[in-house]
């Protein structure tokens, strides 16, 4: 008798090339239309609808209709974390399909992972908070310390406004390119939003790249020094 979670079903959903392209595109954190995802997946509108139906049934994506358009996003942060981990495993095993060119170094330096900062600078943020005692516990029980609460207050992040019983405040997410943790959870999202608000960085349209200005990167490295 076979019991427990059915990873074979999830593997089959993610393993289809078209669906893998759809899920990777949604790692940007943006809701995309079915038409946009058809282009990303390289399939017809009718075919992408069938793929989206399977992904929604499997709990991997969320769909909502606004006017004539149907918008699709990842179901939650857990799905994003699994995809990021699978990208890391694929990279470590040599299963890569990265287009060579100027975007690759930029993706490795700083990018969006669903809704938080990933890449080299995301790892630096995580390591800095760890070294300063702001984050305590292991990867499975990550918590924000009293010292961390003070640091967040100094960074103008209102912890009460982002607290939710349905979502962890702090969560370790394995970075596919750096192969070390970066910070997810509602705090990870709030920190990236604050970085945008400060004008340190901005998203490169149509990509997952987070581009820091020279002054913004200097300020970031000072705030999250190692």
Q: Are residues 62 and 154 in the same domain?
A: no
Inform me whether the pLDDT recorded for 197 exceeds 70: yes
Tell me the per-residue pLDDT of 3-30, one tens digit each, with 9 for 90 and over. 777 888 989 999 999 999 999 889 888 8
User: Containing domain of residue 67, as a range?
Assistant: 7-75
Q: Which residue has the higher pLDDT, 7 or 194?
A: 194
Q: Are residues 69 and 131 in the same domain?
A: no
Provide the 10 A C-beta neighbour count for residue 210.
Answer: 25
Q: The domain spanning residue 25 has which CATH number?
A: 1.10.10.10
Q: Are residues 67 and 105 in the same domain?
A: no
Domain assignment of residue 84, yes or no: no
Tell me the per-residue pLDDT of 125-173, one tens digit each, with 9 for 90 and over. 999 999 999 999 988 889 999 999 999 999 999 999 999 888 899 999 9
Q: Are residues 162 and 70 in the same domain?
A: no
Instruction: Write down the pTM of the prediction.
Output: 0.77
Q: How high is the pLDDT of residue 100?
A: 44
- For 97-106, 161-170, 175-184, which range has the lowest pLDDT when averaged over its residues? 97-106
Q: Are residues 150 and 202 in the same domain?
A: yes
Inform me whether the pLDDT recorded for 205 exceeds 70: yes
Q: Which strands make up the sheet holding 32-33, listed edge to edge?
A: 32-33, 69-74, 61-66
Domain assignment of residue 95, yes or no: no
Residues 6+ apart with CB under 8 A from 9: 58
């Amino acid at each position: 008798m076979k019991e427990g979670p059915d990873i074979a079903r999830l593997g089959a959903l993610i393993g289809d090339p078209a669906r893998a392209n759809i899920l990777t595109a949604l790692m940007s954190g943006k809701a995309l239309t079915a038409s946009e995802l058809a282009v990303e997946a390289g399939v017809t509108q009718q075919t992408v609808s069938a793929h989206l139906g399977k992904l929604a049934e499997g709990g991997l994506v969320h769909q909502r209709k606004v006017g004539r358009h149907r918008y699709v996003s990842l179901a939650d942060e857990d799905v994003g974390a699994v995809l990021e981990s699978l990208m890391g495993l694929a990279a470590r095993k040599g299963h890569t399909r990265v287009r060579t060119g100027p975007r690759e170094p930029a993706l490795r330096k700083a990018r969006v992972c669903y809704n938080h900062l990933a890449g080299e600078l995301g790892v630096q943020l995580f390591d800095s908070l760890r070294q300063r005692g702001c984050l305590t516990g292991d990867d499975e029980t990550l918590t924000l310390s009293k010292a961390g609460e003070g640091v967040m207050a100094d960074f103008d992040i209102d912890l009460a406004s982002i607290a939710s019983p349905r979502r962890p405040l702090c969560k370790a997410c394995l970075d596919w390119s750096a192969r070390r943790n970066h910070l997810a959870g509602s705090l990870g999202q709030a920190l990236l939003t604050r970085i945008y608000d400060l004008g340190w960085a901005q998203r490169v349209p149509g990509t997952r790249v987070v581009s820091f200005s020279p002054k913004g990167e200097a300020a970031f490295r000072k705030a999250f020094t190692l």
